[in-house]
Amino acid sequence: MLNRSNSQSLFERAKKNIPGGVNSPVRAFRAVGGNPLFMSHAKGAYLFDEDGNRFVDLINSWGPMILGHAHPVVEEAVKKALSGSPSFGAPTRREVEMAELVCSLVPSIEQVRMVNSGTEATMAAIRVARGYTGRDKIIKMEGCYHGHADSFLIAAGSGAMTFGVPDSPGVTKGVANDTLTVPFNNLNAVEKVLSENVNQVAALILEPVVGNMGCVLPQAGYLQGLRKLCDQHKVVLIFDEVMTGFRLALGGAQQVFDVKPDMTTLGKIVGGGLPVGAYGGKKEIMSCVSPAGPVYQAGTLSGNPLAMAAGMALLTYLKEHPEVYQHINQTGEKIAKELRSQAREFGVKATVNQQGSMFTLFFSDVQVVNYETAKKADTTLFGNYFQHMLEQGIYLAPSQFEAMFISEAISNEVVDSILTASRESFKRL
Ligand SMILES: *Cc1c(COP(=O)(O)O)cnc(C)c1O
């Protein structure tokens, strides 16, 4: 049994002054039972908790730790930036270089604005799309998560899905009325909604490969079909690549699937582990953003020197080391294949969805293609598997409806340890 005494006492203290004891809901372990572990530090493929337990990390901060934890390249860049003062509130050279880098890496981005989180990025992106089109409504997909802004907390994935409160109290009816939802992977549904709301829809936003109802892939032709429909109806197509950006490829899902959205939102990897988000797209659209245009959006700490240094160091490293993607993608494929075969061996119903270095093991015998089918997964079985893995030193995302993220630090040796633990976990189910 893991010693959890320090985590336990920290959690008791945390609950007194932090709602639910955590600063983001999924961390609380409510979906898998038990209490959260408190982390003290991490290096490479491993997390270390307050009781000195070591875990292979398959969350990697939900993406940013794509090279593993405490990578020297990022660490050095932040140290150097820190000695020059952590913030100015005035323009800096790094912001120019960062914008140039992002525009050169992401195929559809001509201009980009830095913000401080993925939530800010998506929130700003739809405001810009509304300002640009002069229309109010947006379309989102059931089970996609775009951060915690009001407009997106309608049939949302991630923590909102885990806790069964897709519509949060505090979101007004007016806001909810402007958000139209359709099932993922269903072009007819989008076509129907567009024809019922002629000239009213500003934007269609989605995760091109979903991470937030677990990993769900777009079916062949789906993204191309959305591109076509958005062109026909003059709707701004927004790819929320906060998870997939710089992960599925340097140019994100839009590069992998060769579909150009009008706007893209970024987060997670773009900050190298510091709080950064970004939104960008066609120059014509981005020119609406203040002070170039009338759509207001601002941020005291946006383009922060430490954050820019971390993000730029990470992106530059990824650009110079394409073999990183080869390694993490192959690792993803290998783990998915082995998990399928283990599930078969032990007669456990399982569907493994995987794209590059993202994957989800759904405890379900139906193909998972959207929110409806994702929800069919057996969350109790997942909770048991999660706990067996944790006991054996493997830290999975603490919910059935999340993706796992592979880092460069997960070597073939580490993969073997994951698979050995998984085999034992399936056996114990
Ligand atoms: C994480 C995530 C967000 C929100 O980003 P935060 O930095 O947590 O605000 C938005 N969209 C997607 C697809 C995400 O995965």
Ranges of the chain with pLDDT below 70: 157-167
* 244 Cβ inside 6 Å of ligand 1: no
The catalytic position among 137, 140, 260, 268 is 268
pTM: 0.97
Q: How far apart are CA 90 and CA 112, in angstroms?
A: 17
Question: What one-character DSSP code corresponds to residue 217?
Answer: P
pLDDT of residue 171: 87
Are residues 317 and 160 in contact, defined by beta-carbon separation less than 8 angstroms?
no
Q: How far apart are CA 300 and CA 157, in angstroms?
A: 29
Q: How far apart are CA 209 and CA 215, in angstroms?
A: 7
* 212 Cβ inside 6 Å of ligand 1: yes
336 alpha carbon to ligand 1 midpoint, in Å? 24
Sheet of strand 263-266: strand arrangement: 111-115, 277-281, 263-266, 236-240, 201-206, 137-141, 179-182
- Give the torsion sign (CA, 127, 256, 303, 23): positive
- Residue 87 CB neighbours (<10 A): 13
Q: How many CA atoms lie within 13 A of 237 on its CB side?
A: 21
Atom index in ligand 1 nearest the CA of residue 119 equals 9
pLDDT of residue 249: 98
CATH pick for 5-70+322-428 out of 3.90.1150.10, 3.90.1300.10, 1.10.540.10, 3.30.1370.60: 3.90.1150.10
* 267 Cβ inside 6 Å of ligand 1: yes
pLDDT of residue 165: 44
Omega into 291 within 30° of 0, i.e. cis? yes
* 274 Cβ inside 6 Å of ligand 1: no
Which residues, in sequence order, are CB contacts of 305 under 8 Å at separation 6+? 81, 84, 85, 86, 87, 88, 92, 94
pLDDT of residue 248: 98
Read off the pLDDT of residues 204-243 as tens digits, 9 standing for 90 and up: 999 999 999 999 999 999 999 999 999 999 999 999 999 9
240 is catalytic: yes
pLDDT of residue 159: 66
Which of 66, 122, 247, 402 is the pocket-test mutation for ligand 1 (most atoms within 8 Å of CB)?
Answer: 122
241 alpha carbon to ligand 1 midpoint, in Å? 9
Backbone φ and ψ of 428, nearest 5°: -80, -10
* 240 Cβ inside 6 Å of ligand 1: yes
Distance of CA 152 to the CA centre of its chain: 15
Q: Is 53 exposed, middle or buried (0-12, 13-18, 19+ CB in 10 A)?
A: buried
Domain definitions of the chain by residue range: 5-70+322-428, 72-320
Distances (CA, A) of 419 to 56, 68, 346, 378: 11, 19, 14, 21
What is the architecture of the domain spanning 72-320? 3-Layer(aba) Sandwich (3.40)
Residues in the chain: 429
* 243 Cβ inside 6 Å of ligand 1: yes
Are residues 230 and 299 in contact, defined by beta-carbon separation less than 8 angstroms?
no
